[in-house]
């Protein structure tokens, strides 16, 4: 009689049925939300520290914001605005962290014993959820500040509606730099939600589709940085801090380039043989990242980073570019790219391609 092991091996999991494949992975989302509690707590602590720093700088009169908006010299009166700013900076910080985690996971991963791949992937998911929450709170406090200001002029109904349109409707904010900056910020928020949560639909879409769609989440990060450089009053003017924000993008660009040159998945490596379209797209992506790295180097060397003149205490904005129609056109192009990727990587299309390859294989039976 064979010796029995002290542990019982788990029975093989039966294949998922159609109903299970089609559902949203609520259990996985709940588990990641629970896992994000320590991460979110740390983010709230960081937000509190940033708020304290902003409050102290306004109180002491050393904040660059006062050169732009001198009427905000009383931080207690405009506390919601400063909470909005604090959540904006913590959201950008957490977006930076989650992008780094994602690039480490999908690129040439360093073999650190203290950080296995499973833990890194979990941290990437939890920090992504925290980032979405911080982005929403950034917008929510801006809504509160807009509502406070509106109530000094209008009734409650009109104040609520106007604040909602200005803050949450893309293109609703119609004055100043906010015409562009708030539009970009809202696009980042509204793109972050589906592109990040696509992971929990992987049973329905298939792993290839959600992986392909999730790559576009880097667009969210780029839009977030763009929004900050355009509208962050702390980086409104040329100076050391604005240059630092630019400099911190160098590691991200380098990791993206490294991830493209040595991806974790062998099938994503650049091979000059094969269908011209995928080869061209992958080669163009690598060249674009190289150009981005060179552009960032040029910004750091020359100091020309798009900031306002510190001596212009009136805060006059330079001519805004691009116009909103350019951003809408870019969004349309991005949407078409997402649709094309989803169509190409849908499970039915993949099965058809595999069947065609099998049919074309030598020795395959005729259909």
pLDDT computed for residue 274 by the predictor: 63
322 preceded by a cis bond (ω within 30 of 0): yes
**Cβ pair 162, 143 in contact under 8 A:** no
pLDDT computed for residue 49 by the predictor: 97
Average pLDDT over residues 249-267: 84
Quick check: 2 pLDDT over 60?
Answer: no
Measure the CA–CA gap between 71 and 38, rounded to whole angstroms. Answer: 38
pLDDT computed for residue 270 by the predictor: 64
Beta bridge partners of 323: none
**Three-class secondary structure of residue 113 per DSSP:** coil
Quick check: 30 pLDDT over 60?
Answer: yes
Question: Which has the closest alpha carbon to 220: 185, 245, 252?
Answer: 185
217-226, 311-320, 324-333: which has the minimum mean pLDDT? 311-320
**Cβ pair 90, 40 in contact under 8 A:** no
Measure the CA–CA gap between 360 and 247, rounded to whole angstroms. Answer: 51
pLDDT tens by residue, 162-176: 999 999 999 999 888
Could you tell me the pTM of the whole model? Answer: 0.85
Structure tokens at 116: 């296995």
Quick check: 200 pLDDT over 90?
Answer: yes
| Long-range interactions of 252-256: CB distance < 8 A, separation 24+ | 252/96, 252/99, 252/100, 252/103, 252/221, 253/289, 253/292, 253/293, 253/296, 254/293, 255/100, 255/103, 255/104, 255/107, 256/103, 256/218, 256/289, 256/292
The rounded mean pLDDT for the chain is 84
Average pLDDT over residues 361-365: 46
Average pLDDT over residues 65-81: 87
- Tell me which residue has tokens 């542990």: 7
Measure the CA–CA gap between 88 and 189, rounded to whole angstroms. Answer: 12
Confidence band (pLDDT; 50, 70, 90) for 91? very high
**Cβ pair 34, 202 in contact under 8 A:** no
How many residues are recorded in the chain? 367
Measure the CA–CA gap between 147 and 154, rounded to whole angstroms. Answer: 10
**Residue 343 CB coordination number (10 Å):** 11
Q: Where are the strands (E) in 124-243, listed by range?
A: none
Confidence band (pLDDT; 50, 70, 90) for 29? very high
Which position has the higher pLDDT, 242 or 166? Answer: 166
């Amino acid at each position: 009689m064979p010796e029995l092991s002290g542990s019982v091996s788990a029975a093989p999991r039966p294949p998922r049925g159609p109903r299970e494949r089609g559902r949203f992975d609520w259990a996985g989302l709940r588990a990641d939300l629970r896992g994000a509690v320590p991460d979110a707590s740390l983010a709230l602590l960081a937000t509190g520290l940033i708020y304290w720093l902003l409050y102290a700088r306004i109180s002491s009169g050393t904040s660059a914001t006062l050169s732009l908006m001198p009427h905000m010299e009383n931080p207690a009166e405009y506390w919601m605005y400063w909470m909005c700013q604090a959540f904006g900076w913590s959201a950008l910080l957490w977006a930076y962290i989650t992008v780094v985690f994602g690039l480490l996971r999908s690129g040439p991963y360093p073999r650190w014993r203290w950080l296995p791949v499973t833990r890194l992937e979990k941290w990437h998911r939890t920090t992504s959820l925290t980032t979405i929450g911080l982005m929403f709170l950034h917008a929510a406090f801006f809504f509160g500040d807009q509502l406070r200001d509106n109530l000094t002029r209008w009734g409650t109904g009109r104040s609520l509606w106007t604040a909602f349109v200005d803050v949450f409707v893309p293109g609703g904010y119609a004055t100043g730099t906010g015409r562009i900056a708030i539009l970009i910020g809202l696009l980042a928020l509204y793109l972050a939600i589906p592109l990040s949560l696509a992971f929990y639909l992987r049973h329905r879409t298939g792993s290839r589709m959600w992986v392909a769609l999730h790559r576009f989440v880097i667009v969210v990060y780029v839009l977030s940085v763009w929004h900050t450089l355009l509208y962050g009053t702390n980086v409104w003017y040329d100076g050391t801090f604005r240059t630092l924000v630019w400099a911190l993008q160098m590691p991200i660009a380098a990791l993206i380039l490294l991830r493209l040159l040595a991806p974790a998945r062998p099938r994503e490596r650049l091979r000059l043989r094969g269908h011209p379209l995928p080869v061209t797209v992958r080669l163009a992506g690598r060249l674009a990242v190289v150009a981005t790295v060179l552009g960032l180097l040029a910004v750091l060397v020359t100091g020309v980073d798009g900031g306002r003149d510190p001596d212009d205490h009136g805060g006059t904005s330079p001519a805004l570019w691009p116009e909103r129609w350019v951003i809408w056109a870019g969004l349309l192009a991005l949407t078409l790219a997402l649709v094309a990727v989803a169509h190409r990587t849908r499970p039915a299309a993949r099965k058809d391609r595999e069947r065609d390859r099998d049919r074309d294989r030598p020795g395959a039976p005729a259909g």
